[in-house]
Structure 1
Amino acid sequence: MSEGNFSRKGKFVNRQQFAKISTSTSKNVSKSNPHWLLIGFGLSAIAVLSATVGAILALSLSNTPLRQARLTPAEEAVFNQEETVSFDNLQIPKLSRPVNILVMGIKVTTDDVPDQSTPDVGYHALVNSFEGLSDSMLLLRFDPEKDYVTVLSIPRDTKTLVEGRGITKINDANFHGGPALAAESVSNLLDDVQIDRYIRINVQGVEKFIDALGGVNLYVPQNMKYTDHSQHLYIDLKEGQQHLDGAKALQFLRFRYDAYGDIGRVQRQQVFMRALIEQALNPRTILRMPDILSVVRAHLDTNLTTNELIAIAGFTGQKNRSNINMVMLPGDFNTPEEGELSYWLPNHEKISEIMAQHFQIEPDYYTASHESDPTKLKIAVQSNKDNQETAQKVVDYLRETGYNRVFLSQQFANQPLLETKIVAQQGDNYSAAQIRADLGVGEVIVESTGVLTSDITIQVGQDWTIPEFNHHQDGKLKRI
């Protein structure tokens, strides 16, 4: 397959056409704020830094990493030492090449730190430390050559090899070997992807950051209730549009006590990311900058330098919705026997496809597999419970168009769907864009918030209208 085109049943779409297709949105979307900050609650502190270069410069005028942990020379060598920034005529740093950053949200309690000096409070209190299990893990790619940002969510229960520990959950890596072992483990899992930098953020900092930001508005997709007296963890959120302060935001991010466990939590985290990004450029952010910078310094450990932060800020601040991709590590649940651990089992073939399309690591077989007929894609059509009739008509239309593996999802979307979305669940934005072209409506988004078993999920919104058809010579219905 050539770099410039991809095809389906004789129809070729070049890269310029693809860009037009993938960025097509409804009228309301086109009116939204075009500037987006960095994705991920794990990188939220840096997202705020991106709001103003001046604030970042105020943090430090040196090129010293904002690091709190010390790495040995061997651990330093795990990360690529190649220069990441250059300088423009005004001596402002800018990204000189693609950069991959491993982000970890760390949760540490008093029982994780035996020599912790905190008095016995009768429960497992949170500790501001980076030496625990990674409660969340993201690999971010900032690519100035292709002009996009990609966020790959890696479930904490992913089964993989951690050097010195054997086969275990990937969240063990930071606990046993810090950021270097975590980076090595992620690289081995992801086709030896190069990792340039790391960021560790303590979960306490997330709560304080959201408070400094003034909270976040989002639609809570279901009632969330859970109690763990041993951690003083009390989650009690109601379904519906909510304004979440730091404590409630942390409840939303930590909840994983439903049918999908940690995978459902990853999906909700992506919902949270979108909501947070939309609000991050609020003018109030600038007024709270001193508090936000304090949170960054107290709860952030990274080998990024100030110049690199400025370069990332400048690059990401110019991105719009279509230039930001979010995808979850492909895999499936295991069915553990009694007493065995529950894992997320990675799908290595689909991982290779994601790494090829979004991280420029292309195995020989990927091109051939990607040239296969997209009509063989597994497409889920999802709607609100009261819109199933329209959703069925979408299923019928796609089948008439030639898509053979389309099904009506019984997993209802439990939040309002004003606009139709074509969700590239497995990261395949090329095929999603082609489906969008065939439908003639909808916004292509790359994220893993659709139906888990699908390649593409079409979330039918209120903007969908029943198309008129003509019969072509092949006997199939064609949309006018």
Structure 2
Amino acid sequence: MEQRSKRRKAQLGKARKRNALITTTAILGTCLIAGAVYAGTLYFKAERALDRISASGTAPSETAGPVSPVPEASAAADAAAAEEEKNKPLTFLLAGVDNRSGSGGTMNTDVIMPVVYEPATRRLSILSIPRDMKLTSSDLGTHKANYYYAYYYAHNKGEDLQKTREFYGSLLQMDIDHMILVNFAAFSSIVDELGGLDIDVPMDMRYVDNADGTNINLKKGMQHLNGKEVLDFVRYRKSNRGTAESSDFSRNERQQEVLNLILDKLDSVSGITKWGEIIDILGDNIRTDIDKDQLVSWIMNYKTMKPATSELITLESEWKSPYVYANEEDLLEKLEKLRSPLGLPALDNSRLLHDFGL
């Protein structure tokens, strides 16, 4: 029992690290491509990256017909409808796969995060679903949460993102507009492309996991870190080699520090010369079913869409091998919180609890 408890704590620690990492990478990707579009000098690089990232790539434009006069009342109604549509909450499924050496190279999603974004208030709500959480599908049976994308990827290639978001939308009883899949390889590759970062490490950090190849070994003090070391700096929380442990709050601060350092370096003369290579990295490591035209629209308006506030909603859970089980009362409360901006009918509690194996 003690060994299982230790293993479970280690798994929870890894999940929190991955959540911080995927959030940083997703934000960074949006800022970089947006910068490229604004700069103009990398237009074609950005175009090709968006072709690879998006579901549709370049779509033929429709031929516009003659414009008819619009009655004033109709124009006012259209403007009101457009404003309502503009402020309509957006929903996403953000997921991450880890193909680093030692990770096993599987397509299992180590991070699964349904997201609700409210344009009117620029508020972002993120629910973190543990990868080992027990879930039940009428079609696929009972499995861990990280199983379903891997299944659809293997059996419905080309529809894997759509099938996965539809599964989680049904599970959470809410429509999910889009799915974004991030490969963790992007993060360290971007830092290496920029030549590393100068970081004042606040404490010794030591953690080893031979199962997935993790080997964090950082010393306190100002130093120049490469991509792998910066990734370790962001991920570190627990220690199994005698160094002090880090709080989630401190790790969030480190995540923000690294993001700011990367963006500052990208603004430098030397950083700008690397934008082409970095956009290529993003194009190779992010996939989404968002239409390319929609992506371009959001990117061009990223300054007004950038979240002003965000909240990570975590589920209370218990490990009972081989699954993680949600706490019934907490699950209902947290899902109501995530869904509240969407104006949806009340949850079907009995169905929800069944689908979460409770």
| TM-score higher than 0.5 | yes
| Structure whose alpha-carbon radius of gyration is higher | 1
Note the C-alpha offset of 1:315: 3.7
Separation in structure 2 between the aligned mates of residue 265 and residue 342 of structure 1, nearest angstrom: 25
Separation in structure 1 between the aligned mates of residue 235 and residue 137 of structure 2, nearest angstrom: 24
Note the C-alpha offset of 1:166: 3.0
Q: Give the aligned partner of residue 49 of structure 1.
A: 33
Normalising by structure 2, report the TM-score.
Answer: 0.61
Mark the CA change 1:39 to 1:250 in structure 2 (over 3 Å): closer, same or farther.
closer
Separation in structure 1 between the aligned mates of residue 306 and residue 165 of structure 2, nearest angstrom: 29
| 2:236–2:251 Cα contact (<8 Å) kept | no
Separation in structure 2 between the aligned mates of residue 187 and residue 315 of structure 1, nearest angstrom: 27
Matched, 1:236 2:217: yes
Q: Give the aligned partner of residue 208 of structure 1.
A: 189
Give the secondary structure class of the aligned counterpart of 1:292. Answer: helix
Which structure has more relative contact order (CA 8 Å, sep 6+)? It is 2
Mark the CA change 1:45 to 1:327 in structure 2 (over 3 Å): closer, same or farther.
same
Separation in structure 2 between the aligned mates of residue 157 and residue 349 of structure 1, nearest angstrom: 19
Please point out which of 84, 93, 97 is paired with 1:102: 93
Q: Give the aligned length.
A: 278
Matched, 1:326 2:311: yes
| 2:235–2:251 Cα contact (<8 Å) kept | no
| 1:199–1:300 Cα contact (<8 Å) kept | yes
Mark the CA change 1:294 to 1:238 in structure 2 (over 3 Å): closer, same or farther.
same
Matched, 1:278 2:253: no
Give the secondary structure class of the aligned counterpart of 2:316. Answer: strand
Q: Give the aligned partner of residue 312 of structure 1.
A: 298
Please point out which of 263, 281, 298 is paired with 2:284: 298
Separation in structure 2 between the aligned mates of residue 279 and residue 163 of structure 1, nearest angstrom: 46
Please point out which of 339, 343, 350 is paired with 2:333: 350
Superposed CA deviations along residues 376-427 of structure 1, whole A, max 9, x for unmatched, are: xxxxxxxxxxxxxxxxxxxxxxxxxxxxxxxxxxxxxxxxxxxxxxxxxxxx
Mark the CA change 1:271 to 1:140 in structure 2 (over 3 Å): closer, same or farther.
farther
Alignment map for 1:257-276 (pairs within 5 Å): 270-276=252-258
Matched, 1:168 2:143: yes
Please point out which of 233, 237, 247 is paired with 2:228: 247
Note the C-alpha offset of 1:254: 5.2
Q: Give the aligned partner of residue 166 of structure 2.
A: 184
Counterpart AA for 1:354: K
Mark the CA change 1:341 to 1:281 in structure 2 (over 3 Å): closer, same or farther.
same
- Identity rate, percent: 19
Note the C-alpha offset of 1:149: 3.5
Which residues of structure 2 form unaligned runs of 5+?
Answer: 1-21, 57-84, 154-160, 241-245, 348-358
Separation in structure 1 between the aligned mates of residue 196 and residue 311 of structure 2, nearest angstrom: 22
| 1:217–1:244 Cα contact (<8 Å) kept | yes
Mark the CA change 1:173 to 1:125 in structure 2 (over 3 Å): closer, same or farther.
closer
Mark the CA change 1:203 to 1:356 in structure 2 (over 3 Å): closer, same or farther.
closer
Separation in structure 2 between the aligned mates of residue 40 and residue 95 of structure 1, nearest angstrom: 26
Matched, 1:136 2:120: no
Please point out which of 136, 140, 146 is paired with 2:121: 146
Note the C-alpha offset of 1:295: 0.3
Counterpart AA for 2:142: I
Give the secondary structure class of the aligned counterpart of 1:40. Answer: helix
Separation in structure 1 between the aligned mates of residue 30 and residue 126 of structure 2, nearest angstrom: 14
| 1:46–1:309 Cα contact (<8 Å) kept | no
| 2:53–2:284 Cα contact (<8 Å) kept | no
Counterpart AA for 1:144: P
Counterpart AA for 2:144: K
Q: Give the aligned partner of residue 59 of structure 1.
A: 45
Mark the CA change 1:295 to 1:171 in structure 2 (over 3 Å): closer, same or farther.
same
Note the C-alpha offset of 1:289: 0.9
Separation in structure 2 between the aligned mates of residue 361 and residue 215 of structure 1, nearest angstrom: 45
Superposed CA deviations along residues 209-246 of structure 1, whole A, max 9, x for unmatched, are: 23335556778676543334454432223467776532
Which residues of structure 1 form unaligned runs of 5+?
Answer: 1-37, 71-93, 111-123, 366-480
| 1:104–1:201 Cα contact (<8 Å) kept | yes
Mark the CA change 1:272 to 1:155 in structure 2 (over 3 Å): closer, same or farther.
farther
Counterpart AA for 1:288: K
Separation in structure 2 between the aligned mates of residue 242 and residue 328 of structure 1, nearest angstrom: 34
| 1:352–1:362 Cα contact (<8 Å) kept | no
Note the C-alpha offset of 1:276: 4.2
Separation in structure 2 between the aligned mates of residue 213 and residue 63 of structure 1, nearest angstrom: 19
Separation in structure 1 between the aligned mates of residue 209 and residue 113 of structure 2, nearest angstrom: 26
Mark the CA change 1:158 to 1:214 in structure 2 (over 3 Å): closer, same or farther.
farther
Note the C-alpha offset of 1:292: 1.0
